Amino acid sequence: MADTTDTTDTTEPADAIDLSALSDRLARASAAFEAFRPAVEAGDPWPLSAAYGSEPESDWGPKEVLAHTAEMLGYWPVQIDHILAGGPEPVPFGRVSTDPERIERIGRDRGLPTAELFARVATEGSRLATRIRSLSATDAARRGLHPRLGEMTVGRIVDRFLVGHLEDHVEQLRTILATTRSNPPG
């Protein structure tokens, strides 16, 4: 009779994530975000959006995008660490767009100087790059339980809530700046 005591799973998870590719995408998105700094700083002072809570982010200006980007790049890695410190079952993590602390932080931080917000994004982006490079395939396969999206692997969380989210805000900032150049305020 064959020995069946070895339960090591040598198969790759169905949704395996290429952490190296995520790290590369993060580097490109971070560089693209930073490239907007001169244009955003040249537009100061930016009017603050009346709606910066859970409303569509399409109403945001550069200051809301910067405040939120710095905030979310710091928030999600802590959630990943929470999952990695948990047990084998999916660990509850995350928040939804109506989270009061998220909204409060965006509201407060959008009033900071543009240079400080860009510095925060750069710092948090650098920390995130280091964190992604430190994740093992086993770490990336660990599971969390999001309040709206349900069960997700750490790899998917990094892809959706961090790298993909930063890429989305790069495009959002590009659109805001293009629209502003076409239709200057005032």
* Prediction pTM value: 0.87
Closest CA to 167 of 128, 134, 137: 128
Residue 30's closest CA among 175, 180, 173, 184?
173
Superfamily of domain 39-182: dinb family like domain (1.20.120.450)
Strand bridging mode 143-146 / 150-153 = antiparallel
Least confident range from 1-15, 26-40, 125-139, 149-163: namely 1-15
Closest CA to 152 of 3, 17, 62: 17
Whether the upstream peptide bond of residue 45 has omega within 30° of 0, thus cis, is yes
- Which has the closest alpha carbon to 61: 35, 39, 76? 39
Other beta carbons within 10 angstroms of residue 11's beta carbon come to 6
Q: Name residues whose C-beta falls within 8 Å of residue 77's C-beta, 6 or more positions apart in sequence.
A: 127, 128, 131, 162
Give the residue extent of every domain in the chain: 39-182
pLDDT of 3 reads: 37
DSSP-based helix, strand, coil % in the chain, nearest 5: 60, 5, 35
Confidence of residue 181 (pLDDT cuts 50, 70, 90): low
DSSP string, 128-182: HHHHHHH--HHHHH-EEEETTTEEEEHHHHIIIIIIHHHHHHHHHHHHHHHHHHH
pLDDT at 37: 97
**In which band, very low, low, confident or very high, does the pLDDT at 8 lie, cut at 50, 70 and 90?**
very low
Average pLDDT, the chain: 89
- Percent of all residues in the chain with a pLDDT value above 90, rounded to a whole number: 80
SS3 for 91?
A: strand
pLDDT of residue 59: 83
